[in-house]
Amino acid sequence: MNTLVSIIVPCYNQARFLNESLQSVLNQTYTNWECIVVNDGSSDNSEEVINQWVKKDSRFKYLCKKNGGPSSARNSGIRMSSGSFILPLDADDYLSKDYLFKVVPELLNNEYLGIVSCYTKFFKGDLNNTFYDLKPKGTNWKSLMYVNQLVATSLYRKQCWEAVGGYDEKMVKGFEDWEFWLAITKQGWDYKIIDSFLFFYRKAKVSRQTESIKSYLEISREYIFKKHKELYIKDFDNCLKVLFYEINTHKSGKLKVRESFEYKLGKFLMKPYNLLKKIVSKP
């Protein structure tokens, strides 16, 4: 088991978390890795922190580029990489020391697997403060069509990245990893989930992911649906069920709000203001 793994760490103004993340790389019991840290146009002291790690261990490498977002940063790091397997790792997240030791053999022993992932613990502040366990499901593209089952930090073959042309750099608003997994699996590769908690995802109050879900989920899903429309056409009946279920759920939520005491009270309290507004606006 001596395959080189390239760990790609995009960093944009996350120097305060970077030491913990890179320490988790250094702690790996599987030692045949290189770690390419991509400074994606940071304005904090990321460069200083990265250079300290480059001096500490020759397996750490530094790439500096203009800001282009996660897809651009990952693609740039992978182009520089030498490994057969790729592992993206965000600069504020954390690997279990046995991550590579347990995950790498899965790709080595099954040529039909393109991606291997694991269970994930979400944490706030430090690793002792976990609050959610993520246990993905599925094995192929069908399980990825309507929800992303795989965290961005999943191990995959560099061959897969080459086959799909890398991460889509047009997706600057998030969900680029979801589209990437779908692009890979629709070409015939399966994925596997190891039922061990080997990855730790940091949940910030405000993060790129929370902003993406809040503001760009619908736009990103539409983009993914259109880009891979042949899959959704093939799954047309189920696709309609999913979409109409979401429409009905959204309508039910709006009705509940309108029937709530808070909504009715707010409407009552706003009556004088709305009346005054009408009077003032009259010529």
Residues 56 and 114 in one domain: yes
Residue 26: which of 101, 95, 86 has the closest Cα? 95
Residues 242 and 223 in one domain: no
Over 70: is that where the pLDDT of 250 sits?
A: no
CA-based max dimension of the chain:
82
Residues 110 and 245 in one domain: no
Residues 186 and 131 in one domain: yes
pLDDT tier at 134, thresholds 50, 70, 90:
very high
The three-state (H, E, C) secondary structure of the chain, written as one string: CCCCEEEEEEECCCHHHHHHHHHHHHCCCCCCEEEEEEEECCCCCHHHHHHHHHHHCCCEEEEEECCCCHHHHHHHHHHHCCCCEEEECCCCCEECCCHHHHHHHHHHHCCCEEEEEEEEEEECCCCCCEEEEECCCCCCHHHHCCCCCCCCCCEEEHHHHHHHCCCCCCCCCCCHHHHHHHHHHCCCCEEEEEEEEEEEEECCCCCHHHHHHHHHHHHHHHHHHHHCHHHHHHCHHHHHHHHHHHHHHHHHHHHHHHHCHHHHHHHHHHHHHHHHHHHHHCC
Q: Give percent above pLDDT 70 in the chain.
A: 84
Given 228, 253, 272, the domain boundary residue is 228
Least confident among 157-171, 209-223, 261-275: 261-275
Residues 45 and 112 in one domain: yes
pLDDT tier at 253, thresholds 50, 70, 90:
low
Containing structural domain, residue 78: 5-228
Over 90: is that where the pLDDT of 128 sits?
A: no
Neighbours of 269 (CB within 10 A): 9
Residues 23 and 148 in one domain: yes
Average pLDDT, whole number, for the chain? 88
Instruction: Report pLDDT digits (tens) over 44-58.
Output: 999 999 999 999 999
Over 80: is that where the pLDDT of 95 sits?
A: yes
Mean pLDDT for the stretch of residues 261-270: 48
Here the CATH number for the domain that contains residue 79 is: 3.90.550.10
Over 80: is that where the pLDDT of 19 sits?
A: yes
Residue 222: which of 256, 191, 178 has the closest Cα? 178
* Cα–Cα distance measured from residue 82 to residue 40, given in angstroms and rounded to the nearest whole number: 20
Residues 34 and 153 in one domain: yes
pLDDT tier at 66, thresholds 50, 70, 90:
very high
Residues 180 and 270 in one domain: no
Write the CA distances from 157 to 164, 237, 268, integer angstroms: 12, 33, 60
Total-model pTM: 0.84
Instruction: Report pLDDT digits (tens) over 170-189.
Output: 998 889 999 999 999 999 99
pLDDT tier at 273, thresholds 50, 70, 90:
very low
| Overall domain count for the chain | 2
